[in-house]
Amino acid sequence: MMGSIAMAIAVGLLMGIVFGFALEKSRVFEPGMIVGQMQMRNFIMLKVFLTAVATGAVVLAALNGFGFVKLQPKAALYAADVVGGLLLGAGIALAGACPGTTLAQIGVGYRDAIFTLIGGLCGAVAFSYAQPWLAKTLIGSGPKLIFTDLIGIPYWQGAIGLAAILVVVLALMERARSWRKDLGANVDGDTPSASQFKGRMVPAE
Amino acid sequence: MPSLSDKAWSPYVAGVLIGLLQIPAFLIIQTALGASSSFVTVGDAVASLLDPSLLQIDYAAKHVDATAKNLWQVALVVGVGIGAFISMKMSGARRQPISPIWSRALGSSSSALRYAVAFVAGFLMLFGARIADGCTSGHGLSGMAQLSVGSTVAVAAMFAGGIVTAMLLLRRI
């Protein structure tokens, strides 16, 4: 028992290091990237996100299709998904981070991310106190629904289909605007076009 | 070829790497990639020292319980911090204590204001993620890859909430 827990912690640490490395190298953990995405002027976050979803779909199509793993979808709880998703999104915009990238920001030395983390821990504790009441009023229960079950085809076919669509979407996005243009001089999403835009707002003397 | 000392990788290289993390998650831990329930595990463990009655709530007790999955996710998010630190050191990138975008987005260069906004933002983020039962990782990366109907609704709401907030409450960066 202890052995399996120690292994889970070691696996978690190693996976986290790879995850954090990829978040830092892609620059997606930068507040400039996340706020820029939510203001629809920087698309690196969406590119990393959709690429990871497509890769995950291909991986899971293989692992599940050949019977190595069971899927672990969350229950469809529409009211909770909408209300929780809206609050989560508002928090992401104001934090310039999501729960996972908050830790990456702390790792590179962003001091405000420490406050995001403390706020996040307080939010999680506040939810725990409210959970018995929220579970009855808002969250409820629901089925673990996946789209391919609704259509009646095997998961792996739907997953490969999703990945194919995402590859086309990403190719079109990249053709419309290269990811290099969204990096900015200090690779923090603080892009030259932002200051040019500001420059245009100032009347010429 | 991407090098470990690069300042930036293509979002496609990094995205593939993140997506491949589903392999050890599903094969070794029998779970999907996620991040936000670790905040409950750590937050409730600390809070239960001050208020032991918190653990009478099943939800809190279940998350504080020292199971492989709970501790795996805490280790994962700690690893994220370490991995980002190593990557930054290897590329030699230097960061200011607060991203320069915030003085423009908030219309103020006060660090106290930024810290206050960050605290409120973190609170909203986790309170929302726990209502929805997942965040950008659990619903976004893992839920969408699994074609989950609920996760797709949650991700749509997340982007809607993020876009409306960034457009209305923040100035253009």
Q: ipTM, 2 decimals?
A: 0.97
Confirm whether A80 is domain-assigned. Answer: yes
Asked whether the predicted pLDDT for residue A195 surpasses 70, the reply is no
Task: Give me the residues paired with residue A146 across strands.
Answer: B148
Confirm whether A116 is domain-assigned. Answer: yes
Confirm whether A20 is domain-assigned. Answer: yes
Confirm whether A205 is domain-assigned. Answer: no
CB within 8 Å: B44 and A77: no
Q: What residues of B are in contact with residue A74 (Cβ under 8 Å)?
A: 133-134, 138-139, 143, 148, 150-151
Mean pLDDT for the stretch of residues A150-157: 97
Asked whether the predicted pLDDT for residue A197 surpasses 80, the reply is no
Range scoring the smallest mean pLDDT among A200-204, B126-130, B133-137: A200-204
Which of residues 36 through 65 in chain A touch B, CB cutoff 8 A? 36-41, 44, 47-60, 63
Q: What pLDDT is attached to residue B130? A: 98
Q: What pLDDT is attached to residue A114? A: 98
Count of beta carbons in the 10 Å neighbourhood of residue B164: 15
Asked whether the predicted pLDDT for residue B116 surpasses 80, the reply is yes
Residue-wise pLDDT tens digits, B27-54: 999 999 999 999 999 999 999 999 999 9
Total-model pTM: 0.94
Confirm whether A202 is domain-assigned. Answer: no
Q: Could you tell me which residue, A27 or A205, shows the higher pLDDT?
A: A27
Q: What pLDDT is attached to residue A202? A: 46
Residue-wise pLDDT tens digits, A40-74: 999 999 999 999 999 999 999 999 999 999 999 99
Kindly state the tokens that stand for A197: 């835009």
Q: What pLDDT is attached to residue B1? A: 78
CB within 8 Å: A98 and B35: yes
Q: Length of chain A in residues, anyone?
A: 205
> What range defines the domain where residue A38 resides?
2-197
Q: What pLDDT is attached to residue A122? A: 98
Q: What pLDDT is attached to residue A199? A: 41
| Helices B111-132 and A99-108, axial angle in degrees (round to 10) | 150
Which of residues 89 through 118 in chain A touch B, CB cutoff 8 A? 89-113, 115-118
Residue A161, chain B, CB below 8 Å: the answer is no
- How many structural domains are present in chain A? 1
CB within 8 Å: B84 and A108: yes
Closest residue in B to A62 (Cα) is B23
Asked whether the predicted pLDDT for residue A193 surpasses 60, the reply is no
Eight-class DSSP state of A68? S
Query: Half-sphere exposure of residue A174, counting CA atoms within 13 Å on the CB side?
Result: 14
